[in-house]
A and B are shown apart, each in its own frame.
Chain A
Amino acid sequence: MSNNLLSIRSLKKRFGGLQAVNVDKFDFNENQITSLIGPNGAGKTTFFDLITRFQNADSGSINFDGKNVTRLNSYKLARLGMVRTFQLTRVFDRMSVYENMQFAGSSITNEGFLNSLIQSSSLKNHEKLLIEKINETLELLNLSDMKNSYARELSGGQKKLLELGRSLMKSPKILLLDEPLAGVNPKLSEQLLQIIFDLNKKGINILMVEHNIDAVMKISERVVVMAEGKIISDGKPDFVRSDKNVIEAYLGSSNE
């Protein structure tokens, strides 16, 4: 097989009478920002759920980083470097912003029951080393001022940022972002796009679902369009923009 970071074959998921996802072939090429667009209910989030193993596919295969991960547990897949965010933001409400970041960054070894009871000096050192990375990331996302607030107290947009920040603590190989700009104001959207762009330059692969077409066309090297569970178009932004199928199924309605 090819040396793609992510490669998916005949992935299917059905909800009752509805074929929510039916993707024959999807390969993710490294070092590109790829966007996944499509009308509401197209199956984008479900597709993400299947790839990240948050839902079981009915059939099909998923290969990630040279391994067959079709049956792998979601948390193990995350450990391999595939980290996602959620369309409906999931922050740890009754923990501080800082603790949210700490949890994301802390090592699994240190979270072992016995290690936490004994609290060796290596555990304490590791926790200290985290501080710098947390502060850097919060700075990057303009969240430094909110460090000690409960995550619950953040605005919707800030929660999106925190979720992104948490994911960055994992130093992922690929980030799957489900509508990172939803509910974020235009100015912050601009900044966030820049951040995503910079992350990609640093070698983090990005696959994102986003409804903001202008942003998508600006930032993506590749755009994939889904409708009714299927991929109906796939290519450079300009190609997709002028694709007849896409205009019919999706763009047309918003360009009238």
Chain B
Amino acid sequence: MKKYIIAFFLLVISFLYIFLSNETGGARVFVNLMTFAGIYGLAAIGINVHFGWTGLLNFGHAAFMGIGAYTTVLLIPHSLGREGVVISSGLPLPLAILIGILAAALLGLFLGLPTLRLRGDYLAIVTIAAAEIFRLLVRDFEDLTGGVYGIIQFSDSLQNSRPDFITRFGESYDISPSQFWVGLLTWISIIVVLLILSRLKKSPWGRALRAVREDEDAVRALGKNAVLLKLQSFMLGAAIGGLSGIFLVFNYGTVQASTFVPVLTFYVWAALILGGVGSLAGPALGAVIFWVIIAGTDSISRFLFESPDGQQLAGVRFVIVGLLIMFFMIFRPSGILGKKEELLLDVK
């Protein structure tokens, strides 16, 4: 129970900080942060299925997010960055999103089939490499993906579905209505995904994944197909990652190869560690705290440098996030909501 009280106070302090440190536009900042937090939280929930539930090390989540995003965006009306080739026909958005999620799951299958039979560390290496290969392919296949210039003008498919009251609400509180809509849908998705996952976690399937996490050989000795279980878990987590990638690019309104750099995966892991590996809602909470801290580091940057440029901002972010992860690993390796007894990140 104590940890929920801690979580509650952390959230209250975070939100107070946002509104007090922004005399004007507090609501705008809040919505911006919460939207990013939702997206990263959803991505972290995917990694949690991999690592927290099954013990699979996925360091290439950006690839799953990316393939989900690109698949969806290419299936709806869009234009390619540099030449401005406009493609004005496409599938209905819900169908495109579904196919995007499926594509991410299939990439999981494709990467998992050869590697999940091998020892755990292989998967970590393969996922790192896969994410970089994905990014470079996206960059170089300019005709399809727009390369570094990316894809633009695909947001209408989503924003056309925005109810009027969201628009009115946004305008009266000086919030970007389109971002508000993306953020709202993201958090609704988190709730739906968590409801499904909580059902799965308690089910025989969820229990089997935990057994795989603990000892694959024992799982085999009891007549269970550990590889199949790992593959299913890998595809499920990848699919959730795909969905988060889709929201990410709708939040930006554009997508380039550089959207899915390795640091994205790193930040998602940071959110997971803060929130608590293995817990259900931990990753989402971790993502909120993570984004408030990111906002905080930007004020530290402004304090350190008179007018910090992008590089300085990124540098300070890196240092602070790194220190924070170290702090958690040493003093609270179970994260905010994780169970101490089921500690997965042992630093001994």
- Quick check: is A143 within 8 A (CB to CB) of the other chain? no
Bound form: Cα–Cα A253–B232 in Å: 52
Q: Are B224 and A111 in contact (CB under 8 A)?
A: yes
Q: Are B223 and A90 in contact (CB under 8 A)?
A: no
Which B residues are CB-close (under 8 A) to A123? 204
- Quick check: is B185 within 8 A (CB to CB) of the other chain? no
Which A residues are CB-close (under 8 A) to B226? 75
**Which segment, of A92-100, A191-199, A210-218, A237-245, faces chain B?**
A92-100
Residue of B nearest to A54 (CB): B217
Q: Are B342 and A116 in contact (CB under 8 A)?
A: no
Bound form: Cα–Cα A8–B68 in Å: 51
- Quick check: is A79 within 8 A (CB to CB) of the other chain? yes
Which A residues are CB-close (under 8 A) to B203? 116-117, 119
Contacting residue for A54 out of B196, B215, B220, B341, CB 8 A: B220
Q: Are B200 and A84 in contact (CB under 8 A)?
A: no
Q: Are A99 and B199 in contact (CB under 8 A)?
A: no
A-contact bits for B222-244, CB 8 A (1 contact / 0 none): 11111001001000100000000
Q: Are A150 and B341 in contact (CB under 8 A)?
A: yes
Residue of B nearest to A89 (CB): B218
**Which segment, of A13-21, A29-37, A60-68, A101-109, faces chain B?**
A101-109
Please classify the interface of chain B as helix (H, G, I), strand (E, B), loop, or mixed, using the class held by over half of its residues: helix
Contacting residue for A86 out of B196, B208, B221, B342, CB 8 A: B221
Q: Are B208 and A111 in contact (CB under 8 A)?
A: yes
- Quick check: is A78 within 8 A (CB to CB) of the other chain? yes
- Quick check: is B207 within 8 A (CB to CB) of the other chain? yes
The interface size bin for chain B is: 20 to 34
Bound form: Cα–Cα A163–B222 in Å: 10
B-contact bits for A138-170, CB 8 A (1 contact / 0 none): 000000000000100000000000010011011
Known contacts A113-B205, A117-B199: does B342 contact A78 (CB below 8 Å)?
A: no
Q: Are A170 and B200 in contact (CB under 8 A)?
A: no
Known contacts A74-B221, A84-B221, A108-B223: does B207 contact A119 (CB below 8 Å)?
A: no
Minimum CB–CB distance from A11 to chain B (whole Å) comes to 19
Bound form: Cα–Cα A166–B189 in Å: 39
Q: Of residues A94, A117, A163, which shows the largest number of chain B Cβ atoms within 10 Å of its Cβ?
A: A94
Bound form: Cα–Cα A75–B218 in Å: 10
Q: Total number of A-B contacts with CB less than 8 angstroms?
A: 111
Q: Are A78 and B220 in contact (CB under 8 A)?
A: yes
Q: Are A103 and B208 in contact (CB under 8 A)?
A: yes
Minimum CB–CB distance from A227 to chain B (whole Å) comes to 27
Bound form: Cα–Cα A88–B124 in Å: 27
Bound form: Cα–Cα A113–B224 in Å: 13
Q: Are B204 and A75 in contact (CB under 8 A)?
A: no
Q: Are A95 and B210 in contact (CB under 8 A)?
A: yes
Q: Are B204 and A111 in contact (CB under 8 A)?
A: yes
Q: Are A78 and B218 in contact (CB under 8 A)?
A: no
Q: Are A106 and B204 in contact (CB under 8 A)?
A: yes
Minimum CB–CB distance from B232 to chain A (whole Å) comes to 5
- Quick check: is B41 within 8 A (CB to CB) of the other chain? no
- Quick check: is B206 within 8 A (CB to CB) of the other chain? yes
- Quick check: is B171 within 8 A (CB to CB) of the other chain? no
- Quick check: is B214 within 8 A (CB to CB) of the other chain? yes
Bound form: Cα–Cα A79–B220 in Å: 10
- A-B contacts besides A75-B222, A111-B207, A111-B229, 11 pairs, CB < 8 Å: A74-B220, A76-B223, A78-B222, A91-B215, A94-B210, A103-B204, A110-B204, A116-B204, A117-B196, A123-B204, A150-B342
Q: List 29 A-B contacts (CB under 8 A).
A: A73-B225, A75-B221, A78-B220, A78-B223, A86-B217, A90-B218, A92-B218, A93-B215, A94-B214, A94-B341, A94-B342, A94-B343, A95-B211, A99-B210, A103-B207, A103-B210, A103-B222, A104-B222, A106-B208, A107-B204, A108-B223, A111-B204, A111-B229, A113-B232, A115-B205, A116-B200, A117-B203, A117-B205, A127-B204
Partner-B contacts on A (CB < 8 A): 52, 54, 73-76, 78-79, 83-86, 90-95, 99-100, 102-104, 106-108, 110-113, 115-117, 119, 123, 127, 150, 163, 166-167, 169-170
